[in-house]
Amino acid sequence: MLKVEHLTKQYRNVVAVDDISFTLNKGDIVGLLGPNGAGKSTTIKTIVGLLRKTAGVITIDNYPNTSLEAKKRFTYVPEAPELYDMLTVWEHLQFIGYAYDVANFEEKAERLIERYDLWDKRDILSKELSKGMKQKVSICCALLPEPDLYLFDEPMIGLDPKSIRETKLIFKELSEQQKTVLVSTHLLDSIENLCQRVLVMKNGKIIVDMAMEEMKRELGNSENVSLEDLFLEVTKDE
């Protein structure tokens, strides 16, 4: 589904992403983890096409990531959602519905805004929404086109507990539907039981690319080993 080969992203003298490669297959739910400044957001933004790659190849279903064909196959939730100030919640969904040519978008959009408790906010301008509400709208916009690949950058920040639970449920449903999800987050416990695989980044490089089970096995296979323990173990400074 998503193939990243030798991706490098450099800003002037700073190498934010350093020659990373990974592949995501259909149905994969993969956590992209790493300390602050590891290069997670840069990686996702480069896949989305917001940033230009310095080197490497990114393909989505064998299409170059910036092509229109590739863009039809993925959606993106940014870490700090910025919406159109002067559009209502419902108009955002309408806009996405038109942009991605979503069939029966009204029915799907209504279901989504009900799931995220946005029904009574559907006619409110986005500039009047709180940060958490904007995040919910952003997630709804990403879910509406039902693409094959979802790129989430810190999707749970600012969400209330009910919405976090709803998002986790949605991740599970996406996995059952054989959709692919790449989710970057610091809330490790929230994805612990969702991800089948984790990519851990540090200083622009992928230092771990393993299935969760395999990772647990390598670290003693104890029942008490949590994703947080694993993360702290692999990212600790030498």
**Is 125 one of the binding residues for another protein (CB under 8 A)?**
yes
Q: Is the dihedral of CA 24, 76, 143, 80 positive or negative?
A: positive
Contact between 52 and 10 under an 8 Å Cβ cutoff? The reply is no
CA 101 to chain centre: 22
Amino acid at 167: T
Asked if 136 interacts with another protein (CB under 8 A), we say no
The stretch among 13-21, 72-80, 104-112, 224-232 that binds another protein (CB under 8 A) is 72-80
The rounded Cα 71 to chain-centroid distance in angstroms is 15
Comparison of 85 and 173: residue with beta carbon closer to another protein: 85
* 63 binding another protein? (CB under 8 A): no
Parallel/antiparallel/unpaired status of strands 149-153 and 180-184: parallel
Q: Which is nearer to another protein, 91 or 218 (CB)?
A: 91
Stretch near another protein under the rule CB under 8 A, chosen from 25-33, 66-74, 109-117, 162-170:
66-74
101 touches another protein by CB under 8 A: yes
Residue 96 sits in the site that holds another protein (CB under 8 A): yes
Does residue 164 interact with another protein by CB under 8 A?
no
Rg value, the chain, Cα: 18
Residues in the interface with another protein (CB under 8 A) total 35
Mind giving me the DSSP string for 152-172? Answer: EESTTTT--HHHHHHHHHHHH
CB 1 within 8 A of CB 179: no
Euclidean distance between CA atoms 199 and 205, whole angstroms: 10
Tell which one of 74, 105, 116, 152 touches another protein (CB under 8 A).
74
Q: In the complex, what is the shortest distance from the CB of residue 188 to another protein, in angstroms, rounded to a whole number?
A: 25
Kindly list the residues in this chain that would bind another protein in the complex (CB under 8 A).
48-52, 66, 68-69, 71-72, 74-76, 78, 81-88, 91-92, 94-96, 98-101, 125-126, 138, 141
